[in-house]
Amino acid sequence: MGARQQGTRRWAATLVVAFAATAMPALAQADETEDMTVEVMAGACTYCHGTDGNGIGEAIPSIAGMPEDQFAYMMVTYQDGSNPATVMGRVARGYTEDQIQALAAYFGGKPFERPPQPWIDESVVAEGKELAAEYCESCHENEGRDGEGVGILAGQKLQYMRFSVADFLSEAREMERRQARKFRELMDDHGEEGFEKILNYYASVQ
C-alpha cells in the first residue's frame, strides 16, 4: 500500500470519530421524531458525501444520481457486513428499509456533479478508455454514465474506485459471475496496471 493510500485510510479512520461525534447524535435525535423528513435523514449523509450527495475529497464517493436499486443494495450490504466499510456499516444499520428507499429516491433525483480531480494520471487516460471499451462498456454504458443495476463510474472519485476494486480482487466483496469473469480477463491480460488505467479514465470523464 502506497503512502497516499495509507494516508487516506488513516483519514477515513479519523472520520469515523468525527462522524460519531456530530452526525450520529443528529440521527439519534431524528429517530425519535415520527414524522422525520427525508431531508433530515439526508442531512447526516451530506456530512461526508457533500451537498446533495456529491462526495468530498479523493475517497468519498458521490451518491447523487445513483440508481435507486443500486443505492438500496449498497445500504443492505453495508448493514449485513457483506460490503466492508470504515464508516458505512454503522451508519446503514441506523436506517429502516422504508428510510433507505426514501433516501434512494432522494439522492437518485439529484444531479451527479463531476468536479476536476487533479490527482488523475492523464498519461494513461487514453489507453484506459480503450481498455474500458473492451472490458467494461457492456455493463457500464455511455462511458460509465449509465447501465442497468450498476453505479455511476464517469467522474466518480478515483481513490474510492481503487478501494472498491481492491475489495473485489481480495474477495472482501462478492462479484456477480459476469463481473468476476471480466476482472479475471483484465488481470490476465493487463495486470493491475490495466485496472489503474481504466479507473483513471473513468475518473476523468465529464
Binding site per annotation, positions for heme c: 45, 48-49, 88, 136, 139-140
- Rounded to an integer, what distance in angstroms lies between the CA atom of residue 152 and that of residue 145? 5
The string of DSSP letters for 90-153 reads HHHTTS-HHHHHHHHHHHHTSPPP----TT--GGGHHHHHHHHHHHTTTTSHHHHTB-TT----
Cell, residue 79 = 448493514
CA distance 93 to 76: 8
In contact, 83 and 74? CB cutoff 8 Å: yes
Binding residues: 45, 48-49, 88, 136, 139-140
CA atoms within 13 A on the CB side of 7: 5
